[in-house]
């Protein structure tokens, strides 16, 4: 993964959308935890993995629907390669929230 | 001369309907090859098979004579393919300059934009451009990528005469720089002016048409006119 990609405005737009999706998923997870009377901000690896997979799937869907996967493809990047940094972002945000909570 | 990219004996069915029947097409360095056929003849499907966006039931894609086991756009792009589909594919919220930055410092996207007179709207969001300006922006990025093969699906579609001429310039510049240009179209007169070689496609069957400039249209096809 090149610095050119990580610094690009296109990647930053994917990052913004991903963080928004993470926030929505986190609110849903907290609501579920409150409902079942479990610690709301606890880090559940399986739940986080599922949430991350759904977030990535949705971002991938947006990218394909706007045909930006062809732009990435012409640059020699698969969708998986382009979105590879995002799971680390999910993990970092969720860990920070669980530590603060 | 050896074809850089070739699709050989391609069969493809979509939704239970056979779209391609042992179709063959290739692209030769320095030449502009046109694939001509009516809407629904299978042009886009054949291009989609070449770049791995559609799975074929039979046949093979070859790159410089070697079979590509699993064709995909990123893999072929790393070898030197540029693919222009029949719909906008740039990020609409970015400018040409921001797209150019994605190519890295080694690519002369400004020079490519100048070649196609696309510098006037370099800092405008792609989503605010007219259809012709958008097409030229896409092709400027294609030029900047310095491809070995340029695969373009209906690059002239819906353009006014001035923009058509600029798109034709882009194809010629690509070919003059040694790229193998393969494009799909159904504008017969534009093809006569632009192309060096021609494949016709009718009901998923392709045919290389020798001496196409001097031959009447009905001889380009197997079953034309119906």
Q: What residues of chain B lie within 8 A of the CB of A76, using their CB?
A: 74, 77-78
Number of domains in chain A: 1
Mean pLDDT score of chain A: 94
Distance CA B173, CA B159 (A): 19
pLDDT along chain B (226 residues), means of 10: 92 93 96 93 96 93 94 96 96 94 87 90 94 93 96 92 90 95 88 92 91 76 51
Say what the pLDDT of residue B1 is: 72
Say what the pLDDT of residue B190 is: 83
The pTM of this model reads: 0.91
Q: Please report the residues numbered 8 through 67 in chain B whose beta carbons come closer than 8 angstroms to any beta carbon of chain A.
A: 51
User: Nearest Cβ partner of B101 from A8, A67, A76?
Assistant: A8
What is the span of the domain harbouring residue B208? 5-220
Say what the pLDDT of residue B226 is: 41
The token duo for B152 is 């373009």
* Percent above pLDDT 70 for chain A: 99
Residue B196, domain member (yes or no): yes
CA distance A29 to chain B (A): 32
Contact B115, B83 (CB under 8 A): no
Tens of pLDDT, residue by residue over B165-203, are: 999 999 999 999 999 999 999 888 888 889 999 999 999
Query: Can you give the CATH number for the domain in which B13 is found?
Result: 3.40.50.300
Residue A93 has pLDDT above 60, yes or no: yes
Say what the pLDDT of residue B222 is: 56
What is the span of the domain harbouring residue A43? 3-100
Residue B55, domain member (yes or no): yes
Which strands sit side by side in the sheet containing B205-208, from one edge to the other?
Answer: B81-84, B149-153, B180-185, B32-36, B197-202, B205-208
Say what the pLDDT of residue B225 is: 42
Residue B225, domain member (yes or no): no
Say what the pLDDT of residue A5 is: 93
């Amino acid at each position: 993964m090149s610095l050119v990609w990580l610094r690009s405005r296109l990647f930053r737009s994917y990052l913004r959308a991903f963080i928004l999706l993470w926030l929505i998923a986190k609110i849903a997870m907290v609501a579920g935890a409150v409902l079942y009377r479990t610690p709301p901000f606890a880090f559940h690896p399986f739940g986080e993995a599922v949430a991350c997979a759904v977030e990535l799937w949705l971002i991938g869907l947006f990218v394909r629907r706007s045909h930006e996967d062809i732009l990435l493809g012409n640059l020699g990047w698969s969708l998986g390669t382009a979105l590879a940094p995002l799971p680390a972002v999910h993990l970092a945000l969720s860990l920070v929230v669980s530590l603060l909570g | 001369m050896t074809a850089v990219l070739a699709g050989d004996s391609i069969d493809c069915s979509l939704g239970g309907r056979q779209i391609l029947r042992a179709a063959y097409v290739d692209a030769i360095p320095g030449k502009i090859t046109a694939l001509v056929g009516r809407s629904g003849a299978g042009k886009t499907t054949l291009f989609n098979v070449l770049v791995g966006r559609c799975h074929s039931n039979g046949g093979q894609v070859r790159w410089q004579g070697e079979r590509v086991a699993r064709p995909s756009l990123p893999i072929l792009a790393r070898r030197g393919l540029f693919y222009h589909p029949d719909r906008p594919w740039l990020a609409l919220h970015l400018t040409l300059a921001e797209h150019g930055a994605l190519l890295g410092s080694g690519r002369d996207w400004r020079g490519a934009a100048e070649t196609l007179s696309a510098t006037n709207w370099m800092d405008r969001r792609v989503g605010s451009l007219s259809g012709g300006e958008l097409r030229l922006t896409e092709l400027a990025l294609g030029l900047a990528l310095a491809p070995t093969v340029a695969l373009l699906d209906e690059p002239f579609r819906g353009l006014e005469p001035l923009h058509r001429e600029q798109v034709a310039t882009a194809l010629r510049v690509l070919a003059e720089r040694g790229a193998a240009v393969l494009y799909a179209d159904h504008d017969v007169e534009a093809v006569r002016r632009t192309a060096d070689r021609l494949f016709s496609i009718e009901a998923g069957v392709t045919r290389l048409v020798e001496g196409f400039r001097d031959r009447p249209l009905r001889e380009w096809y197997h079953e034309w006119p119906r």
